[in-house]
Amino acid sequence: MDCEICGRRPAYGEALIEGAKLMVCKACGKGAQMVAKREVKKESAPMERSEEEEDVVEGWGRRIREARERKGQSVEELAKEIKESAAYLQAIEAERMKPTIKTAKKLEKALGITLIEKYVVSGGSGLEEKSFKEITLEDLLEAQKKEG
């Protein structure tokens, strides 16, 4: 929509001019009381990268030890079952070491517990969010050029 006063520039917003609501461009609306700004929403959502990450839950050592004790297994027995060394498993239980996702998965399976939590990491697009944008004919032509 073009400015209702000059008709030359795209309308910026609705201004109250002499009691009438008119769509005006920035220049014509200067000094006038603006009624409402015309919000131009982005057509497509910002390019957001979101990845699903896995991590070992906090307190893994206690969870593993309690589950192992419920099963009545010794550290050695459980280590054998998951094909890891007893020293490594002991270090994990004492939380001196954090199990790898691979080891944690083996422990989950062996003990029937949850040790891995999934969370979504989302990174911003890095683009400044513009809440207000004027679309000019040049912009539209530029957009058409890009599409074609």
Write the DSSP assignment of 48-97 as a string of letters: -EEEEEEEEPTTHHHHHHHHHHHHT--HHHHHHHTT--HHHHHHHHTTSS
Member of 22, 28, 67, 75 binding Zn ion (CB under 5 A)? 28
Identify which of residues 26 and 62 has a Cβ nearer to Zn ion in the complex.
26
Identify which of residues 15 and 64 has a Cβ nearer to Zn ion in the complex.
15
Per CB under 5 A, does 11 bind Zn ion?
Answer: no
Instruction: Give the Cα separation of 103 and 60 in Å (integer).
Output: 12
Identify which of residues 28 and 89 has a Cβ nearer to Zn ion in the complex.
28
User: CB neighbours of 19 closer than 8 A, spacing ≥ 6?
Assistant: none
Per CB under 5 A, does 34 bind Zn ion?
Answer: no
Per CB under 5 A, does 25 bind Zn ion?
Answer: yes
Q: Which residues bind Zn ion (CB under 5 A)?
A: 3, 5-6, 25, 28
